[in-house]
């Protein structure tokens, strides 16, 4: 199965928060998009890993994903080493995406920057033919995505590019709210966390409005890039 876009993230709900609108936009355009979560988010204060898996499935249906996998790395303790790199490389070669979206390069949660670095490393190494990986018992062919973009999460990072998600804002919010255990629920008896206050959802909208304002639209999602963006026609920037 070949994907157009593969999202590599540390935790279930990272993709929804960081690039849910961008995912919905490209799915509507007929692109095949998938998510590989590195961990189950098992160290989260609220909910359980089993519940998070159910919520991720519901969110995936809302977004129209082609596939969603979980590598079951240890939440908070995974590192950018050979073992983890090979696991990510196997997924990149399995799905052969043209574009990879990944966590923010630095953020409040230390897993996000680690996941960003791991995704970057794995995308490069995946193109090296002498690194051998197997899927379903068969030797995989080398594959390197054409571009890696890192979405912006809690910490403000000046974006290199902003995607207009105005028409897909409602889908993004619906996908986020699929993770009922993690976000604001006035009827929940779970401990309050940074994410579970009503103010956090207000922040998510404010960030999207701020990024959208920068390009003259209602809502936007920002990304940083690892290479200079090249174009063949200035009108592609309009």
| CA dihedral sign, ordered 60, 65, 70, 74 | negative
Cα–Cα distance for residue pair 65/67, rounded to 1 Å: 5
Q: Rounded to whole angstroms, what are the CA distances from 221 to 21, 138, 159, 163? A: 7, 38, 9, 5
Domain ranges, ordered by start, for the chain:
5-237
pLDDT digits (tens, 9 = 90+) for 170-186: 999 999 999 999 998 88
Mean pLDDT of 57-62: 98
pLDDT digits (tens, 9 = 90+) for 202-224: 999 999 999 999 999 999 999 99
pLDDT of the residue at 104: 98
Cα–Cα distance for residue pair 160/136, rounded to 1 Å: 38
The pTM of the whole model exceeds 0.85: yes
- 154 pLDDT more than 80: yes
CATH architecture of 5-237: 3-Layer(aba) Sandwich (3.40)
């Amino acid at each position: 199965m070949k994907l157009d876009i593969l999202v590599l993230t540390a935790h279930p709900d990272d993709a929804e928060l960081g690039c849910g609108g961008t995912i919905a936009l490209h799915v509507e355009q007929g692109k095949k998009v998938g998510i590989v979560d590195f961990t189950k988010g098992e160290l989260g204060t609220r909910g359980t890993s089993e519940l998070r898996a159910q919520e991720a499935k519901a969110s995936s249906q809302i977004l129209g994903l082609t596939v969603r996998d979980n590598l079951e790395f240890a939440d908070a303790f995974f590192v950018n080493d050979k073992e983890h790199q090979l696991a990510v490389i196997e997924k990149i070669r399995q799905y052969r995406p043209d574009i990879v979206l990944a966590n923010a390069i630095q953020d409040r949660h230390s897993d996000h920057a680690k996941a960003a670095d791991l995704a970057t490393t794995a995308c490069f190494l995946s193109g090296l033919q002498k690194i051998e990986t197997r899927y379903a018992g068969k030797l995989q062919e080398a594959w390197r995505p054409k571009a890696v973009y890192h979405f912006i999460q809690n910490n403000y990072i000046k974006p290199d590019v902003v995607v207009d998600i105005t028409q897909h804002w409602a889908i993004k919010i619906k996908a986020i709210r699929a993770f009922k255990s993690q976000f604001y629920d006035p009827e929940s008896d779970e401990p309050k966390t940074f994410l579970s206050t009503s103010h956090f959802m207000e922040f998510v909208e404010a960030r999207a409005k701020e990024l959208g304002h920068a390009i003259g639209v209602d809502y936007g999602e920002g990304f940083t890039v690892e290479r200079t963006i090249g174009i063949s026609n200035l009108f592609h920037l309009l």
